[in-house]
Structure 1
Amino acid sequence: MTAPPVAREREITEPVALTGPDGRLNPAAIGFARAPLIDTRGIGRGRFVRSWGRNKRWEYWNVMTPTHIVSLTVSSLDYAAVHEVWIHDRATTRSWGRSVTVLPSREVSLPASLGTGIAIARHADLAATITPAERGTLWRLHAEIADASFDITVRRPPGHELLAVVVPWSSRRFQYTVKDVALPASGVLTLDGIDYDVGQGSWAVLDHGRGRWPYDVSWNWGAGSGTLADGRSLGIQVGGRWTDGTGSTENAVLLDGVLHKISASVVWEYERAAPLRPWRVHGGGLDAVFTPFYDKKSATNLGVVSSRTDQCFGTWSGTFAGDGVVIAFDGIEGFAEDVRNRW
């Protein structure tokens, strides 16, 4: 198989605005960063009327504990607010969840840029808040639905880096994504009145997004968090399809809080019709096998707006050799997904 192409990515080290005064992509923002340096206040605001319906803003958190899986989404797509709270018991495979789509978008508040305010979702039977604290080194996740709630604290260890990437399809269509992996989590889940600890060995992943998207798009995303045999923390972050041809990738390995950027595209090998079979992701020095144990399937069809997702949870194993690092890993918990959106 032909080696995947390697992008020529520029590292951003100073704060910069995502958009210019006309609402179009600021060329100086294209690249990647190890901290949330991009000012995204221009998304969903201003006079760029022709972009209405293309603005997408979201906060997504996933927390994997030894006993449960937790997901929280607060988002606005211009014309709709879309939120989800989901908790899954790994032993019994029972899930508690609520997804809501509010037309038009209302009862939702999202900060202009990452860490500058509280994300809030309110609906008749769903309430959620995502609260940053201590200058972005701590997050509080709170959500309530019928028969289930959680209060989770996520900490960013000192010196912990993240992956922030601006993906340019064109001057009018672009995305700023922050993928923050291998974040220790603690707290409590309450399910049917019974409390469960979010304790040792619990890891959180953040997907923060601000951008203007094409109508029809497909992507792969995978993430993993855990600890190597020598005690160092490991985070895996890989993506595919949606960045093709843009010169940007969202691929990296995080070792003990230090980001090792993978500028090559990675190859995804899996069976879309059988997503619970092993997946392989390789390229740029990474060669990883993902072994799923659960598929969180979802589908929505509202006519012109539709989505289909297979988000599989499981474990990562493999090797990484690059950027002066050579490691082998096994049993790193996380997920891999296949998504198509018409939105």
Structure 2
Amino acid sequence: MTHEREITEPVDLCRSDGALDPAAVGWSRTPVHRANLRGWGRTKRWEYWCVTTPTHLVALTVSDLDFLALNSLYFLEYGSGGREFEVGSIVPFGRGVRLPETVAGATGGADVVVGPARPTGGRVRVEIRHEDGGTRLRARCLTPGRLPVEVDLLVTRPEGHESLSVVVPWSRRRFQYTSKQTALPAAGQVRIGDEILKFGDDEESWAVLDHGRGRWPRTVDWNWGAASGRTDGHTVGLQFGGRWTAGTGSTENALCVDGRLSKIGEELDWRWSRTDPLAPWTLRTPASDQVDLTFTPFHNRSTRTEAALLSNRTDQCFGHYDGRVRTADGAEIAVRRLLGWAEDVHMRW
């Protein structure tokens, strides 16, 4: 499935001078890297959680980009007329935002709390805390219409559930460690004003984590796709990346089927329309039959930012995956309407 080296023991990401340690380059089924980053200006750290149901989703972000921090809450209710809002706080120089060297809120990792306890205006409170069996996600803010919002979700990690952690090396001084965790059960609620929206009671609810720590080039482009749910009698998590890993010898491509990870060493062939992101996308492994999927979006979260130090163009499309995938042991899984997203991003930071 892959030519990449599997890492099974704890390892530091960096040497004492801040350069990438060659011993850290590889992938693992559980997070084993300690992101002991050095230096300022090109260092990027973040925790991004997205929790979906068949009818709505919520995403929480805590990020430290050195020259600023961005903490945000995004909510989407699917369908015509569904609610959508995002509340984000920009913190100059990341004051008060400290992300740990390991996954926040995980076993053995530090908790993260940012923002005021009673946020007003465009500010947001985000809490990522460890609890027995999982991670508690809490958030609080006001909608643009000044309705109070409260998020309280518990993401559980079934025993033995595997995820993809990988180091992507552009050079000794530019590299990224990412842990992508899919198909994690979640339960709880989001309160908007007097209305309570349930997660995980009568409907499936799944969480995906994007944990990132690295030292990045000034400009980069990437694709990211993920999905979680039940299909063909299995619990399936899809994790795909593109463009930013090309030429590094590493990919962030993997399948998680019933908690077991299949690492994919091929770069995927991504096809989509930049002028019409809501047109169907295709994702395939060009040299094998491991991935053959069509992604059909129903909503585009489009972001355009132009600031002195930051330029961002993001089309994050939510929709469904259909097609087939093949695991490392040769099992073919039919993918039918698996809920997730695919995105096209250009970033200057």
Give the TM-score band, short-chain normalised: over 0.9
Report if the CA contact (8 A) 2:25-2:166 is conserved. yes
Percent identity for Structure 1 against Structure 2: 45
* In 1: Cα distance, 2:335 partner to 2:170 partner: 34
Map Cα deviations across residues 167-191 of structure 1 (whole Å, 9 max, x no partner).
0000100000000001111001101
Q: Which residue of 1 aligns with 2:343?
A: 337
The size of the alignment, in residue pairs, is 328
Q: Which residue of 1 aligns with 2:58?
A: 70
Q: Which residue of 1 aligns with 2:45?
A: 57
Q: Which residue of 2 aligns with 1:213?
A: 216
* In 1: Cα distance, 2:274 partner to 2:113 partner: 34
List aligned pairs for 1:254-293, cutoff 5 A. 254-283=256-285, 284=288, 285-293=290-298
* In 1: Cα distance, 2:315 partner to 2:4 partner: 30
3-state SS, counterpart of residue 125 of structure 2? strand
Q: CA deviation at 1:7?
A: 6.2
Q: CA deviation at 1:108?
A: 1.5
Report if the CA contact (8 A) 1:70-1:88 is conserved. yes
1:36 pairs with 2:31: yes
3-state SS, counterpart of residue 23 of structure 2? helix
Report if the CA contact (8 A) 2:54-2:339 is conserved. no
Letter in 1 for 2:139: A
Which residue of 226, 229, 232 maps to 1:226?
229
* In 2: Cα distance, 1:19 partner to 1:104 partner: 23
Which residue of 109, 112, 125 maps to 1:119?
112
Q: CA deviation at 1:319?
A: 0.8
3-state SS, counterpart of residue 23 of structure 1? coil
Report if the CA contact (8 A) 2:255-2:327 is conserved. no
Which consecutive aligned stretches of 4+ in structure 1 deviate over 2 angstroms post-superposition? none
Letter in 1 for 2:169: P
Q: Which residue of 1 aligns with 2:92?
A: 103
3-state SS, counterpart of residue 115 of structure 2? strand
3-state SS, counterpart of residue 108 of structure 1? coil
3-state SS, counterpart of residue 170 of structure 1? coil
Report if the CA contact (8 A) 1:7-1:265 is conserved. no
Letter in 2 for 1:169: W
Q: Which residue of 2 aligns with 1:3?
A: none
Q: CA deviation at 1:235?
A: 0.5
Q: Which residue of 2 aligns with 1:320?
A: 325
Which residue of 130, 142, 146 maps to 2:138?
142
Q: CA deviation at 1:304?
A: 3.4
3-state SS, counterpart of residue 10 of structure 1? coil
Report if the CA contact (8 A) 1:218-1:241 is conserved. yes
Letter in 2 for 1:95: E
Report if the CA contact (8 A) 1:298-1:308 is conserved. yes
Q: TM-score, normalised by structure 1?
A: 0.93
Q: CA deviation at 1:194?
A: 1.0
3-state SS, counterpart of residue 28 of structure 1? helix
1:21 pairs with 2:24: no
1:198 pairs with 2:199: yes
Which residue of 67, 74, 99 maps to 1:86?
74
Report if the CA contact (8 A) 1:7-1:247 is conserved. no
For structure 1, the 5+ residue unaligned runs are: 1-5
For structure 2, the 5+ residue unaligned runs are: none
List aligned pairs for 1:3-14, cutoff 5 A. 8-14=3-9
Letter in 2 for 1:107: G
Map Cα deviations across residues 68-125 of structure 1 (whole Å, 9 max, x no partner).
1111000100110111101111143211320122112113131221131112221553
The root-mean-square deviation of aligned C-alpha atoms, in Å, is: 1.3
Q: Which residue of 2 aligns with 1:129?
A: 127
3-state SS, counterpart of residue 236 of structure 1? strand
Q: CA deviation at 1:225?
A: 0.4
Report if the CA contact (8 A) 1:109-1:118 is conserved. no
Q: CA deviation at 1:140?
A: 0.6
List aligned pairs for 1:168-183, cutoff 5 A. 168-183=169-184
* In 2: Cα distance, 1:274 partner to 1:89 partner: 22
Q: CA deviation at 1:317?
A: 0.7
